[in-house]
Amino acid sequence: MNDVRAEAGASSGFVHATCAGCGQVNRLPARRLADDPTCGRCKQKVFPHRPVEVTGATWAREVDTSPLPVLADFWAPWCGPCHAVAPALERIAGRRASRLKVVKVNIDENPDLAARFGVRSIPTMVVLRRGREVDRMVGALPADEIDRRLARLGDG
């Protein structure tokens, strides 16, 4: 799927990113990540343009080692406001595809992750760099507000 791993020697300026389409591991200059790089094998975009479902089992490889900042949307199928904010997150995932990765965490199926991040109401959107929380938005914020908060991260 969308396995994106940082190379152990990140100081070399390269990261390893597994293609969202074909699974090929691409070695990319870190400074070129923002150019929405193309896979060397299938010629499609390396980074996903849509939100990616993650679980406790895939969190480490999808989030902790992602070379891109990650917006993790904690949600549940029965949550109306979660559905209300979902289209905005789809658009953000497309527009910021090579600058931000959007993942979705179903809290019913992953109560361990919800507990780990102290999620008390949903939707809660946690922004992480290298697995560390750098911002948090609680509630179904308007798309403009989410965009403003993400822009403050300095990645456009």
Determine the interface stretch with Zn ion among 1-9, 42-50, 62-70, 83-91 (rule: CB under 5 A): 42-50
Looking at 38-46, 56-64, 115-123, 141-149, which segment touches Zn ion (CB under 5 A)?
38-46
> Greatest CA separation found in the chain?
45
Q: Fill in the DSSP letter of residue 46.
A: S
Minimum distance of Zn ion from residue 97's CB (angstroms): 14
Sole binder of Zn ion in the list 1, 42, 88, 153 (CB under 5 A): 42
Binding of Zn ion by 19 (CB under 5 A)? yes
Under the criterion CB under 5 A, does residue 4 sit at the interface with Zn ion? Answer: no
Instruction: Pick the piece of the chain touching Zn ion (CB under 5 A) from 31-39, 59-67, 83-91, 146-154.
Output: 31-39
The alpha carbon torsion through 2, 5, 148, 83 (nearest 10 deg) reads 30
Q: Coil, strand or helix: which one is 18?
A: strand
- Binding status of residue 25 toward Zn ion by CB under 5 A: no
Q: At 88, is the secondary structure helix, strand, or coil?
A: helix
Residue 113 contacts residue 105 (beta carbons within 8 Å): yes
Q: CA 94 from chain center: how many Å?
A: 11
* Residue with smaller CB distance to Zn ion, 24 or 58: 24
Catalytic one among 19, 22, 39, 82? 82
Is 42 a catalytic site residue?
no
Long-range residue pairs from 26-31, CB within 8 A, at least 24 positions apart, any chain? 30/67
Indicate the pairing of strand 101-106 with strand 70-75: parallel
Nearest one of 27, 22, 32 to 6, comparing CA atoms: 27
24 scored as a contact of Zn ion (CB under 5 A): yes
98/106 with CB nearer Zn ion:
98
* Residue 19 appears among annotated catalytic residues: no
Instruction: Report the interface residues with Zn ion, using CB under 5 A.
Output: 19, 21-22, 24, 39, 41-42
Active site positions, annotated? 79, 82
